[in-house]
Amino acid sequence: MHKLFSAISIFLLALSTTTLNVEAQLKGQYPPVDTPPPPVASWTALVDQTKLPKAPLRPPGTPCAPTDEFCVWSCTTCTRPDTDFDFCPNKGDWALTYDDGPTNNTLKVLNALNTRGIKATFFVIGSRVYENPQILKQIVDSGHQIGVHTWSHTALTSQTTEEIIAETKWTEMAIKEAVGLTPKWFRAPQGDADDRVRGILKQLGYKMAFWNHDTFDWESNSDPTYDLNWIPANFTIWVQNTTATTGFASLEHDAFNKSSSMAETAMDIVLKAKFKPQSVSVCLGDKQPYVENFTLPPSNINGQNATSSTTANGSKPSVISKNGASSVEKNLLLGTVCGLIMMILGFFGTI
């Protein structure tokens, strides 16, 4: 009897694990993760390259020019008002932004945000979306904004125009398949953008999101000397700026275990100082964060979550798994499996 019980348990566990693995994949054909994706001719044709500024490519390690002719943000934090965001315009507003997910570490950040009723913006990497579409769906269903953060996280000023378009469109395609939305906001890895990059993204229908408060928390993933206490220490200093006439925008990362573990503390510092955290689009008053007609809720900071995001007809977008089943159907199947396990455990417990 014990051998039969063990065999059944192993079978059911394998079935549930298979269900989760299938659900964690998109059905589209995508390039290898974490490498610059191949250009697609139809996507390249969307950009009129004759209208782009003639900014030169800047291979990694290229020193900044003595004169910033092409508004290279990663050299001089130069911005263009018609395309760029780097702070909330209204005093007291604070855009909390998180880069490089979605990963399992995102769930810690997401739980902390949702518990406090805070809405934020997540700039997601296409490779991570491909691996974790269900986590992306949780972000969207919780009322948070998502934006594009390229497929491979490569410095854009080092890439050709064709490569930048591919980085954007492959990520856009994965997001669309995962949650049914097409973002209109983009963040360049390391903030590495110039006027050529802006011109490409503008023609593709995007605005550029930067920041004016950087935690440098990404260093915690590779630098053993990075002190995690620097994150709350910086927030503590930033919130003391009561003379600013505008709001702020901070950069954190939800991809790494150490940095994401400090996100909750940072949120509480911002809230205690009576700032109003919001997503980028909400703090800007941007009513069209996606190509689709979709409403982002504001934060509801009273210990309760704000209403989750909805489409124009009141429905929520549904993620599709590799075999074409929706996440709801998959969750029902997984629930059935768990129920069977509990029934069998109860049955054998009476023998």
Catalytic residue numbers read: 99, 253
CA-based R_g, the chain, Å: 22
Residues 229, 194: Cα–Cα separation, whole Å = 33
Residues 79, 71: Cα–Cα separation, whole Å = 7
Query: How many C-beta neighbours within 10 Å does residue 50 have?
Result: 5
| β-pair partners for 214 | 251
Q: With contact defined as beta carbons under 8 Å apart, do 60 and 155 qualify? A: yes
Could you identify the residue written with the tokens 């579409």? 133
